[in-house]
Amino acid sequence: MTSSVPNATPRMGAVFELPKPPGLHWRVQARQLIDYEVSITRNLLNPDNSALAKACGANGRRPTRCLVVIDAVVEELYGPRLQAYFDAWRIEPFVEPVSGDEAAKTLDAAVKMTEAMTRMGILRRTEKVVAIGGGVVLDVAGLAASLYRRGVPFVRVPTTLVGQIDAGIGVKTGINHGHHKNRLGTYAAPETSLIDPEFLRTLPHRHVVNGLAEIIKMALIKDVALFELLEATVTEINADAFAGHGSATGEVLSRSIAGMLDELEPNLWEHELERSVDYGHTFSPSLELRADPPLLHGEAVAVDMAICVALAHNRGLISTVDADRAIRLMSLAGLPITNPVFTADLLAEALGDALKHRDGLQRVPLTKGIGAAVFVNDLKYEELVAALEFVYEREADCALAALA
C-alpha cells in the first residue's frame, strides 16, 4: 500500500497477529502497586526540615509549583510560616483556603478544588496537591485529586489528632451525600503523609478528645498495651502533651498509627469486608449526621463503641470488669457514651444501612476481651435495647464516680 502522505517514510513494526481461531472473549489482568510513606516529623515548617519540600518535588534550586488546599483556620495560624518555608525552597504555592467543617464535606467543595487545579494549570504528574488540615479537608481534597484528570498526585499534612492517626494515613477519600456519611468516595493513596505533632499545640481541647476516640478504638480491638497506657495517662493528655516530646504521648501516637497501618495495609481496597477498624463505625455515621447539637466524628464513634462494648458484654465476649474499664476510659477521656438521638430504632436503621455497605451481612466488630475483635452477623433488635440500657446504667455510675 502506498502512503497518501507526500515523502512519508513507511512505518515498520511488529506484526500483530490475531489469535487463531479469532476469539471474541478477552481477559484483561493488571496490578497496581501502591507505595506511599507515612512519617512523623517534627518542625515540619522549619526550612531546615526538607520533608515537605521533597514531598512537593522541590530541591531549592529550581522553581516548583503546588496547589495548597488548606483549612482556613490553619492558614490563619500558620500561613506566614508556611509561606516563609515555601520561599526558602523556591516553591510557588497556589493557595486555596477551604472550610474544615463537616458541613463542607460536599460534592460542591470537591468540584471547587478541581476548578482551582484548572486555574493553576496543574501538571498532571509532576505538580502536587498539598492538603493541609483535618479529616474533612483531607477527605475532600483527596477525592478532588483522584478525580481531576483521573488522578493527580497529592500529599497529606494532617493538623488534627483524628487526621494524624486515622483520616490522614489511609487511602480512602469521600464526601457526604444524600444525608449519608461518606456516601461518595474513592480509594486514592497520597504520595506522602507528613505528621507533625506540633500542629496539635493549637488544636482546641474538644478536638484532642475527638481524636482520642479513634485511639481508644485501636486499643480496644488490637492493642492491650495501648489500652493500659491510656488508662494510666488519659487524664493528662492534652494538646501540649502531644505537641511536646513526652514519651507517653509519643508512644500513644506511634502505637495508634502503627496499629492502624497494620490493619489497613493488607486490605487497602476493602476486598475483605470484615474490618476490625470499623469498630465504632456501625452506628456512628447515622448519629453523626443527626445529632443536635452536632457531634464531632470521634464523639459519635465513642457513643457507638459504648454500645458495642455493651453488646459484647451481653453476649459474654467481654467480662463486666473489662466492659466497665472500657466505658470508664472513654468517660475519663471526656467522650460522650450516650446521646438522646441514639434510640433503638435509630440503631436498627443504622444497622440496616451497614448491612448494605457490608454486602448483605452485618459484619459488626465487637471486642473479645480487651485487645481483640470478633465479628457477628446476627444482632437482634432486643439486643440493641438491652445494650442501650447497659450504657445508660454505666453513664450514671460514671457521673456518680466523677462527683465522688
Assign 14 a pLDDT band (cuts: 50, 70, 90): confident
> pLDDT digits over 295-354, tens only?
999 999 999 999 999 999 999 999 999 999 999 999 999 999 999 999 999 999 999 999
Determine what percent of the chain is predicted with pLDDT higher than 90: 88
- Whether 241 and 153 map to the same domain: the answer is no
Assign 1 a pLDDT band (cuts: 50, 70, 90): very low
Domain around 126:
37-202
- Whether 226 and 306 map to the same domain: the answer is yes
Which pLDDT value is given to residue 246? 74
- Whether 101 and 146 map to the same domain: the answer is yes
> pLDDT digits over 57-91, tens only?
999 999 999 999 999 999 999 999 999 999 999 99
State yes or no: is 222 an active-site residue: no
The dihedral through the CA atoms of 143, 147, 151, 153 has a sign that is negative
- Whether 253 and 163 map to the same domain: the answer is no
> pLDDT digits over 87-103, tens only?
999 999 999 999 999 99
Q: Which of 105, 128, 172, 222 is catalytic?
A: 172
pLDDT exceeds 90 at position 11: no
CA nearest to 181, candidates 363, 4, 350: 350
pLDDT exceeds 80 at position 8: no
pLDDT exceeds 70 at position 129: yes
pTM for the model: 0.92
Tell me the CATH number at 195: 3.40.50.1970
- Whether 357 and 258 map to the same domain: the answer is yes
87 part of a folded domain: yes
Tally of domains in the chain: 2
Q: What is the mean pLDDT of residues 379-388?
A: 98
Classify each residue of 216-255 as buried b or exposed e, where b means 16 or more C-beta atoms within 10 Å of its C-beta: bbbbbbbbeebbebbeeebeebbbebbbeeeeebeebbeb
